Structures are given as structure tokens and as C-alpha cells.
């Protein structure tokens, strides 16, 4: 098997110059939101912070949807860069975004843990929106630009753009897993997707396994041949296929987590929760891939059996609202809220819930003290491309303490080997691992946390961006 190339560990970000060519980013969403005064503001987030300076310095642009159906926004100027909105109608939002992207591709690419909906009209909307993105990029990209397309929403754009602009270099990065051939070939439009992606010069995946899955699919479905390590030939062109594990802004998390206000808030959170011996924490988008229900059930079983004690062990679950227009997400929310109610009904005491559940988006200033207050972090998805929450928890633990329980089905498990790895489908082991985490002595906790902190410090999100750009800019 070919070795991984282009991983963030290989490069030294400081010594890598900003590319000479302009950089155009294309993603489903623009990194902006309307503020209370009706002005566009850049949304916070590690990915945006890593990419914005490169776009600014290179005088590039960003192409994407504003998130509002039927909005006809003109070019948006924020943070010294041009944002080009791609309009999407209410019908397309239902068919392209909620339908094909999030009800067909999302479950299929996550091990088909839920049945995908295969609908020809949704596919047609996906093709139409991808074509609109390609045209917009072709119209605005400076000569010889680097175009970096993000994620599963835009898999047809590479070939569509290549057909219009032969001067630009085209990269695509998949934030979610790329499934094995056996699952991918269920997709009625599998050949179109593979051909769409092969229009790129560089295809990036979170894990080497994703890159291998893509290469196998490209070979089987369109007879693309692997000519060298991480190099696939199709239609007379070579395409680089590699893994580029994404990370977070480690310095920022460490800095924020070390501040006095955050320390005070951390102490306040502990008091508010009734000063339990151990706080177990989950932070996820409310998505069925994240395994929130299985995790809560494990906590409930441990309380039922007396292996955990509601007076000493308390769980906090933060679940961010997400994709609320999709039926599977509405079902997931109902199920999770029922489990929380059942467990609290049996094990809470007046004024002291045993599970504190918030279905809310939180500012970073609240999320970081929660990470710091969490003695045991439970990151247990059934499948996840990377999982940044795991890395954020480790970065926030500037105190060198804390235990991470991490699903082996996340990309992060490749790097965070000193977490307690778990198979969330295996109830018996899952329970044992949680108890082990809760009872772990500080002599074991601290070296494990130290090793995990080293692992993330050697690979931050800027290095990730540079490593991809290095391969694209050749």
C-alpha cells in the first residue's frame, strides 16, 4: 500500500511561503452571517481563520451560499476579501441540500448507518447547483488561480470547472469519510460522481483509508489506474489522491483556556453542577452519526447497575441544533430527549439532574470552560471524518489532566492513540471503558493527556491548509 503523503506532520508551516497564485475557496456555505445591524460578518471557526489570511494575501475570493434560500445578495466585501454568493432556491435547498447532500450522500458516506434516500429529482437539483457553482467560479477566478473546493456537496464541480477553465489548478477536500466501494456503488450516480471528482488535480481525504477507498472506486467504476503512490491516471491526466488530516487552531484554544475568566467560569460550572466527583461530557452536533443515544444509554446502564453513582457522577450533553428540516434529524432529537428524560426520571434528585442536556449552540467562551470542567470527555461517533471536538478538548486541557474516550471510527483516532479507544457498537466494552475512564488514576491520566497534547501541537489547522496548498500549487 502506498505511504501517506502530504500529511500535516510532514511540513513546517513557518517555512512555507504564501502561494504566488490567487486562491479561490468554494464551499457550500460562505463563512459569513448577517449580524443584528443587517451587516455581513465573518463567522468564527478554525477552518475560516486558517484559510482567510491565505485568501487575503493572495487577493483571491470565496464562493458559496449565504445559507438563505432565494437570497439575491451581491458580492459581499468582508475582512478584505470578496465573497461571491451562489443563489439557491427554496426548492433546491430541499432537494440539493437537505435531500441529495444530507439525506443521500451523508448517510451513505457514514457507513450507511441510516438508509439513504435515492431520488432522481434530488440528483437533478444537485447537478444544477454544482453547475451554478462551477460557472460562478469560472467567471470570477483570476488567471492561473488555485481553486480549492470543499466537501461532499460539490463533488461534480471539479470536472465542470475544468471544462470551462483549463488554466486553474483544482483541489477538492472531503471533510467526511469516503466509503468503501461496496457501499459507494449503491449510489445510482456513482460514475458521474467519480468522474466529477477526477476533474481535480488534487483530491484530499481525512484518512488514508478514504483515499484508498476512492482509488478503488475510481479503478472499478471508470478504469482509472494508479500509476504511482497516490497518483491516479484518468483520461490522460494524473490526479494526486492523498490524506490530509484536518486540525484546529491549537494556539488559540490554549490561549483562551489559560485565561482567568475561563478558569473562573470552569469553577462556577462545577459548583452549578453540584460539585460532583466526575463530570462526563459530550459535545456534538445533534447528528445520528455521533452516537449520542448509545452514549447516554451506556451512562444509564451504569447508573442502573450501580457502577456509577448519581451523587458522584454527572453527565453534561451539549447537542447543537443542525439540519432540522431533515426527518432523520427530527427523529434523532426526539429519541435523545426521550432517553435524557427517562434517565433523569429514574436517577435525578430534586434540583440535581444526573444528565444536563442543552440543545443549543454555545459561544467559544462557554464551550472552553465546559471542556475544562469535563473530567471525562466522551467522543463516540459510529463514524466521523475527523472529529474536531476531540482535539478541542485536548487543546483546552492546559492543566494536563482529563480523560478522552474516543471512538475508533473517527479520523482523530489515528492521531490520538493515547485516548481510551472504544467501539460504540459493543455495549459491554463501552460500559467498561467508561468506568475505566471515570476511575483512572492521575498517574495514568496525566501521561496520556501529555502524549495527546504533543500529538495535536505538532499539527495545527494552518499546517493542514499549507500542506494541501503545497501539493496544489505545483
Check residue 384 for interaction with ligand ADQ (CB under 6 A): yes
Residue of 224, 280, 367, 471 that binds ligand ADQ (CB under 6 A): 367
Check residue 28 for interaction with ligand ADQ (CB under 6 A): no
Q: Cell numbers of 266, please? A: 470552569
Nearer to ligand ADQ, 15 or 35 (CB): 35
Check residue 122 for interaction with ligand ADQ (CB under 6 A): no
* Contact between 283 and 318 (Cβ < 8 Å): yes
Q: What is each CA distance from 144 to 54, 165, 169, 443, in whole angstroms?
A: 16, 9, 7, 55
Check residue 465 for interaction with ligand ADQ (CB under 6 A): no
Sites for ligand ADQ among residues 390-409 (CB under 6 A): 392
Nearer to ligand ADQ, 210 or 310 (CB): 210
Sites for ligand ADQ among residues 275-334 (CB under 6 A): 283, 285, 318, 320
Specify the pairing of strand 61-65 against strand 81-85.
Answer: parallel
Nearer to ligand ADQ, 76 or 396 (CB): 396
Q: Cell numbers of 428, please? A: 459491554
Binding characters for ligand ADQ, 236-275, by CB under 6 A (x = yes): ----------x-----------------------------
Between CA 434 and CA 422 the distance in angstroms is 9
* Contact between 104 and 127 (Cβ < 8 Å): no
Nearer to ligand ADQ, 384 or 415 (CB): 384
Check residue 209 for interaction with ligand ADQ (CB under 6 A): no
In the complex, minimum distance from the CB of residue 121 to ligand ADQ, in angstroms, rounded to a whole number: 26
* Contact between 400 and 450 (Cβ < 8 Å): yes
Options 213-221, 234-242, 260-268, 383-391: segment touching ligand ADQ (CB under 6 A): 383-391
Check residue 361 for interaction with ligand ADQ (CB under 6 A): yes
Residue 90, C-beta contacts closer than 8 angstroms, at least 6 positions apart: 69, 70
Residue of 198, 262, 368, 386 that binds ligand ADQ (CB under 6 A): 386
Between CA 376 and CA 364 the distance in angstroms is 19
Check residue 49 for interaction with ligand ADQ (CB under 6 A): no
* Contact between 424 and 382 (Cβ < 8 Å): yes
Residue of 389, 413, 437, 455 that binds ligand ADQ (CB under 6 A): 389
Check residue 176 for interaction with ligand ADQ (CB under 6 A): yes
Look up cell 449510489; give the residue.
187
* Contact between 271 and 364 (Cβ < 8 Å): no
Phi-psi region of 236 (alpha: psi -120 to 50; beta: other; left: phi over 0): left
Options 294-302, 337-345, 378-386, 414-422: segment touching ligand ADQ (CB under 6 A): 378-386
Q: Is 79 exposed, middle or buried (0-12, 13-18, 19+ CB in 10 A)?
A: middle
Q: Cell numbers of 320, please? A: 447543537
In the complex, minimum distance from the CB of residue 253 to ligand ADQ, in angstroms, rounded to a whole number: 10
Q: Cell numbers of 268, please? A: 462556577
User: What does the binding site for ligand ADQ look like in residue numbers (CB under 6 A)?
Assistant: 175-176, 246, 283, 285, 318, 320, 360-362, 367, 384-389, 392
Amino acid at each position: 500500500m502506498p505511504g501517506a503523503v502530504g500529511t500535516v506532520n510532514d511540513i513546517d508551516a513557518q517555512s512555507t511561503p504564501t502561494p504566488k497564485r490567487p486562491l479561490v475557496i468554494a464551499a457550500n456555505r460562505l463563512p459569513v452571517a448577517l449580524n443584528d445591524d443587517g451587516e455581513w460578518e465573518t463567522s468564527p471557526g478554525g477552518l475560516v481563520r486558517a484559510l482567510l489570511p491565505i485568501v487575503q494575501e493572495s487577493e483571491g475570493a470565496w464562493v458559496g451560499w449565504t445559507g438563505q434560500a432565494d437570497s439575491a445578495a451581491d458580492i459581499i466585501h468582508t475582512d478584505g476579501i470578496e465573497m461571491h454568493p451562489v443563489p439557491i432556491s427554496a426548492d433546491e435547498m430541499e432537494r440539493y441540500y437537505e435531500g441529495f447532500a444530507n439525506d443521500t450522500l451523508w448517510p451513505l458516506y457514514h457507513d450507511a448507518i441510516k438508509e439513504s434516500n435515492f431520488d432522481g429529482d434530488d440528483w437533478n437539483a444537485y447537478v444544477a447547483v454544482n453547475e451554478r457553482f462551477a460557472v460562478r467560479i469560472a467567471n470570477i477566478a483570476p488567471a492561473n488561480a488555485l481553486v480549492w473546493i470543499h466537501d461532499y456537496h460539490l463533488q461534480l464541480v471539479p470536472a465542470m470547472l475544468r471544462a470551462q477553465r483549463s488554466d486553474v489548478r483544482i483541489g477538492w477536500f472531503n471533510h467526511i469519510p469516503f466509503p468503501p466501494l461496496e457501499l459507494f456503488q449503491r449510489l445510482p450516480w456513482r460514475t458521474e460522481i467519480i468522474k466529477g471528482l477526477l476533474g481535480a488535480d488534487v483530491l484530499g481525504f481525512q484518512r488514508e483509508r478514504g483515499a484508498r477507498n476512492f482509488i478503488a472506486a475510481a479503478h472499478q467504476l471508470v478504469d482509472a489506474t494508479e500509476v504511482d503512490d497516490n497518483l491516479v491516471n484518468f483520461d490522460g491526466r494524473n490526479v494526486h489522491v492523498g490524506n490530509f488530516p484536518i486540525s484546529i487552531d491549537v494556539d488559540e484554544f490554549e490561549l483562551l483556556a489559560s485565561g482567568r475568566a475561563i478558569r473562573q467560569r470552569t469553577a462556577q460550572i462545577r459548583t452549578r453542577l453540584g460539585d460532583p466527583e466526575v463530570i462526563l461530557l459530550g459535545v456534538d452536533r445533534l447528528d445520528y452519526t455521533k452516537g449520542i443515544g448509545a452514549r447516554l444509554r451506556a451512562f444509564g446502564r451504569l447508573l442502573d447497575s450501580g457502577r456509577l453513582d448519581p451523587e458522584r457522577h454527572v453527565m453534561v450533553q451539549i447537542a447543537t441544533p443542525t439540519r432540522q428540516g431533515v426527518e432523520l434529524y427530527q427523529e434523532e432529537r426526539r429519541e435523545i430527549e426521550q432517553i435524557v428524560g427517562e434517565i433523569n426520571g429514574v436517577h435525578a434528585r430534586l434540583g440535581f439532574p444526573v444528565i444536563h442536556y442543552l440543545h443549543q449552540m454555545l459561544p467559544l467562551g462557554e464551550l472552553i470552560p465546559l471542556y475544562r470542567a469535563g473530567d471525562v470527555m466522551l467522543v463516540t461517533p459510529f463514524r466521523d471524518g475527523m472529529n474536531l471536538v476531540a482535539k478541542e478538548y485536548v487543546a483546552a486541557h492546559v492543566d494536563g489532566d482529563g480523560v478522552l474516550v474516543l471512538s475508533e471510527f473517527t479520523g482523530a483516532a489515528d492521531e490520538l492513540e493515547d485516548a481510551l479507544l472504544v467501539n460504540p457498537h459493543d455495549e459491554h466494552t463501552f460500559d467498561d471503558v467508561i468506568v475505566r475512564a471515570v476511575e483512572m488514576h492521575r498517574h495514568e491520566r496525566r501521561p496520556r493527556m501529555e502524549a495527546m497534547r504533543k500529538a495535536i501541537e505538532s499539527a495545527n489547522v494552518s499546517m493542514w491548509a499549507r500542506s494541501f496548498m503545497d501539493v496544489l500549487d505545483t
